[in-house]
Amino acid sequence: MPHSVSSNDGDAATAPPFHIAIIGAGIGGLTFAIGCRKNKVSYTLYESAAKYSTVGAGVGLGPNALNALNMIDPKLRTMYDDISSGNLTPNKDHVMFDALYAETNFGEDRGWQPAPFGASSYDRTSAHRVDLLNILTSMIPPETVRFNKRVKNIVQGAPGEKVSITFEDGETVMADAVIGSDGAKGPTRGFVLGDRWPEEVKATYSGKYVYRSIIPMADALQILGHHAGDAETFLGKDVNFITFPISRGAYCNLVAFKFTRGQPWTHDQWTKRITKEEMLADFDEGVDKRLVKLLDWADPLQWSLHHHINTPIYYNDRICLLGDSAHATTPHQASGAGQCIEDALVLSHILGQLKSPAGLTKAFEIYDSIRRPRGQNVVKTSQEAGELYSFNHHECGDDMDKIVANFRERFLWIWEHDLQADLTKADELLAKATTVSK
Ligand SMILES: Cc1cc2nc3c(=O)[nH]c(=O)nc-3n(C[C@H](O)[C@H](O)[C@H](O)COP(=O)(O)OP(=O)(O)OC[C@H]3O[C@@H](n4cnc5c(N)ncnc54)[C@H](O)[C@@H]3O)c2cc1C
């Protein structure tokens, strides 16, 4: 097999029992590759880009994601702590966001005070995505990665046989299994679902797009005052702005959401360049001018938000989905990357128990049974959270007290999930599986 690299740290004399092809080096593929190393699973990581990604804005991780990082490798968690930022105001460690109105004066005129929500189990942390990716890539041996390898075709041999992967450059490689961590638009999803659920292959438009910007904290503080230093969410009819500090407080990250209820996304790409005037027109009614001013740092680029609201199964024999390719979600619960990391933890743990390729399909079935209900529930509840943030929720409408009460409860099942119990369940299911030789 060309470039078939063993990633094992173990005894060089022992040949790895099987070799995995990982497609895509985003947060999902990278954390999974690190998990494979820790669990002595041999892999090669194939990435279509010429190098690791250096683009992106802020990303926030909940306690579940931080636990998963720690369980994959405690070094990851330590390094994350070094690059992440909390709220700059003291004593707000457990506040996910303060809720304010997006309208002029942020609701002060109607007597609204910023309403914090979070939990004692939650520590507010966010990072620049590039800093997070740098941590992850620092733990990947270069000889296990191949860049400029865009997957074109994946063919499962006879049931239980090796899988062949063909790239756009014409090369074909074989692997015992393929993990598609190739994102919401990647091709692997089609090879898992295409024959059985063709209507579920493509991600669907979630009814909103965003503008994103990173603002030097000094400028953000001048415009927003103390709000710039803390994580804040500004709610309005069909609009939502979130701001939070990144890069250890050097920058303020802004995501401005525009909800387009009932209107389809008609552009052929998921990003659409428009004029600055068109961007500002999205927020010309009912939005405090300070929030609009923050868009001076935004590229006038609409990023449509697509998601996989239904994914009937995460695997097809020896081809398996991980990360956004399985469960692309809207970002309203700040949980998409966290779900990628949880996938990586559980799947690398399961594969680490196998002593032969014969158990791979069973391993994917166990992963699917543990991860899919939770991953898909995050997608569904995130869409509902978007309705809350945009005053479109059927019960809460624009009642901020009800919305904040909902936010104080709605994240707990995501944050306080027992990942160790997932691994224990996986071990039990593996032990029960008669087809798996241990
Ligand atoms: C505005 C916004 C804000 C967000 N904020 C948060 C947040 O605060 N917290 C959070 O947890 N999550 C957040 N998310 C979600 C999070 O960013 C994603 O869930 C996560 O980055 C997905 O990682 P991934 O590795 O699955 O996919 P990707 O990051 O999409 O990586 C896929 C990789 O596969 C490669 N690839 C694609 N096709 C091929 C091919 N044919 N062959 C080879 N390689 C290929 C790509 O080049 C890419 O490197 C946010 C998302 C958005 C849009």
Confidence at residue 75, expressed as pLDDT on a 0 to 100 scale: 97
User: Does 186 contact ligand 1 (Cβ within 6 A)?
Assistant: yes
Residue 437 has pLDDT above 60, yes or no: no
Distance CA 72, CA 76 (A): 8
Place of tokens 């593996």: 430
Confidence at residue 16, expressed as pLDDT on a 0 to 100 scale: 87
Closest to 342 in 3D by CA, of 115, 35, 20, 135: 35
pLDDT tens for 213-255 read: 999 999 999 999 999 999 999 999 999 999 999 988 999 999 9
Distance CA 177, CA 318 (A): 5
Confidence at residue 56, expressed as pLDDT on a 0 to 100 scale: 75
Which atom of ligand 1 is nearest the CA belonging to 182?
34
pLDDT tens for 82-134 read: 999 899 999 999 999 999 999 999 999 999 999 999 999 999 999 999 999 99
Q: For the residues 54-70, what does the mean pLDDT come to?
A: 92
> What residue ranges define each of the domains in the chain, with the CATH number in brackets?
19-54+130-202+312-397+405-432 (3.50.50.60), 87-124+204-307 (3.30.9.30)
User: Does 180 contact ligand 1 (Cβ within 6 A)?
Assistant: no
Residue 363 has pLDDT above 90, yes or no: yes
Confidence at residue 277, expressed as pLDDT on a 0 to 100 scale: 97
| Interval between CA 183 and ligand 1 midpoint (Å) | 5
| Interval between CA 292 and ligand 1 midpoint (Å) | 27
| Interval between CA 323 and ligand 1 midpoint (Å) | 8
Residue 1 has pLDDT above 90, yes or no: no
> Do the bridges between strand 42-46 and strand 19-23 make them parallel or antiparallel, or are there none, so unpaired?
parallel
Q: For the residues 2-9, what does the mean pLDDT come to?
A: 37
Distance CA 393, CA 41 (A): 45
Confidence at residue 159, expressed as pLDDT on a 0 to 100 scale: 87
Q: CA quadruple 419, 350, 163, 32: dihedral positive or negative?
A: positive
User: Does 229 contact ligand 1 (Cβ within 6 A)?
Assistant: no
User: Which of 70-79, 157-166, 301-310, 330-339 is the least confident region?
Assistant: 157-166
Long-range contacts of 269-272 (CB under 8 A, 24+ apart): 270/185, 270/303, 270/304, 270/306, 271/301, 271/302, 271/303, 271/304, 272/209, 272/301, 272/302, 272/304
H or E stretch at 70: helix 63-72
Which atom of ligand 1 is nearest the CA belonging to 53?
49
Are 313 and 368 within 8 A, CB to CB? yes
User: Does 28 contact ligand 1 (Cβ within 6 A)?
Assistant: yes
E strands in 196-343: 204-216, 232-236, 239-246, 251-259, 271-273, 301-307, 315-316, 319-321
Distance CA 22, CA 42 (A): 10
Residue 7 has pLDDT above 90, yes or no: no
Residue 2 has pLDDT above 50, yes or no: no
Confidence at residue 13, expressed as pLDDT on a 0 to 100 scale: 52
Closest to 166 in 3D by CA, of 188, 144, 183: 188
Q: Which of 34, 48, 311, 339 to mutate to test the pocket of ligand 1 (most atoms within 8 A of CB)?
A: 48
pLDDT tens for 286-330 read: 999 999 999 999 999 999 999 999 999 999 999 999 999 999 999
Measured between alpha carbons, how far apart are the two ends of the chain, in Å?
A: 26
Are 396 and 403 within 8 A, CB to CB? yes
At residue 300, φ and ψ (nearest 5 deg) are -75, 70
Confidence at residue 129, expressed as pLDDT on a 0 to 100 scale: 93
- The predicted model scores a pTM of 0.95
Q: Give the mean pLDDT of the chain.
A: 94
Distance CA 198, CA 213 (A): 36
User: Does 386 contact ligand 1 (Cβ within 6 A)?
Assistant: no
Distances (CA, A) of 223 to 215, 219, 227, 254: 10, 6, 9, 13
